[in-house]
Amino acid sequence: MKTKAPVTKNERLDVTIADLTYQGMGVAKVDDFPLFIENALPGEELTIQVTKVQSHYGFARAVAWKTESADRVKDVDKTYRQTGIAPLQHLAYPAQLTFKQHQIAELFSKAHVDVEVAPTLGMANPTQYRNKAQVPVRKVKGQLETGFYRQHSHDLIPLTDFYIQDPAIDAAIVKVRDLLRQFEIPAYDEISDKGVLRTIMVRRGYYSHEMMIVLVSRTQKIPSQAQLVDQIHKALPEVTSIVLNVNAKKTNVIMGNVTRTLYGKPTIEDSLLGLTFAISARSFYQVNPQQTEKLYQMAIDKAGLTGAETVIDAYCGIGTISLALAKHAKQVYGVDVVPEAIEDAKVNAQKNHLSNVTFEVAKAESQMAKWQEDGIKPDVVVVDPPRKGLAESLIDSTAKMGPKKVVYVSCNPATLVRDVVRFQELGYDIDGAIQPVDQFPQTPHVESVTVLVKK
């Protein structure tokens, strides 16, 4: 029997916020029926208006506050909430760190896994940290603009300050935008699938200050391309690489498969934990370098290497963790599905004079099965998967190889919990506390390091 929701659309109610969802929305309960409210914090009493009712939950908007949380930050720019750039900016930073620790603890507790979660490692300055920007280019009111989409829509809100990005990147985007206007380059139009320039991507080395500009175009060539490229590198002295990426498909995927270097080199360099890395346009590189050093150092420390171990790094990307591990291990094997990332990883191994690393292009789960068949016996396996977590077959292959330790670097607590439960079924236990690291301040995302040991 379908029960009727205790609220109706447009109804106004007085509520107290009980909790925050993992997306950072306030939760109020009416007869155990949860309502999700943006920009509301635990403990606050407010008047809300119901905007949408589903069978098991609803959404509402805040109309007026009766009491405000002591953790509320007053002067926030609502644009950053509307675009989803900084959905937690209204929550004081120490409370954001507690929220992230609580988020992980809560999910483990729901799965009946007894575990300690350490306080989240935060940043001294939790803004202006991103070393990479991907900014859509659209025509707004007759003019080419760069900015960010309003959440759940494709309406571009023009922006010049992105708050959580390196200010040098924000300034570079404005320079490129002005040159695109000057050369009258047509912005991409999603509806008609016409126009030229879709996205500007900028990467900047945190230590090196080398800058890469990637122009993502619907067409094989941009009008006035040579003059545009010439003006970009004249206007931006840090630029050491200008790249054209062609994406002719009608798709939400940002980049296409064709990449051509228009100026300088195809990569920029930066360093991490004292190692040098070449980073190409399409390869994955963590966006918060300061916190990445803490995160990776933590993973290396927890691996407890003496120099005699064989280590596997699944999802190795351009070799950031693999090479840091290689300095402390006998042999490291890395695997990634992106061919360009593995090319970069091999170059990076040479750059850092490390010969005890082998890199393979493959899906992590199939390569793990192959290494297992080849009789490779790792002492430690390090995994740093995407948000969807580990494939069950990868967990099975890992358990069959029987490493003493698995170090799990996670960017999604929900899939971490699921995967840890699977490892426990196969004879592994959590060792010590889970360590959250705040890679993405002002957003609900949290990274963490968990160590599993063979029983």
CA 215 to CA 202: how far, in whole Å? 9
Q: Which residues of 327-355 are buried (b: 16+ CB within 10 A; e: fewer)?
A: bbbebbbbbbebebbbbbbebbbebbebe
Catalytic site includes residue 316: no
DSSP string of 365-422, one letter each residue: HHHHHHHHHTT---SEEEE---TT---HHHHHHHHHH--SEEEEEES-HHHHHHHHHH
Token pair 């506050």: residue:
65
Given the residues 323, 411, 434, 451, the one annotated as active site: 411
Residues contacting 59, CB < 8 A, separation 6+: 35, 36, 37, 50, 51, 52
Alpha-carbon distances of 148 from 259, 295, 428, rounded to whole Å = 24, 29, 43
CA 66 to CA 335: how far, in whole Å? 54
Cα–Cα–Cα angle for 275, 280, 281, nearest 5°?
A: 140
CA 366 to CA 351: how far, in whole Å? 28
- At 450, which amino acid appears? T
Cα–Cα–Cα angle for 446, 394, 415, nearest 5°?
A: 25
What are the residue numbers of the active site?
A: 411
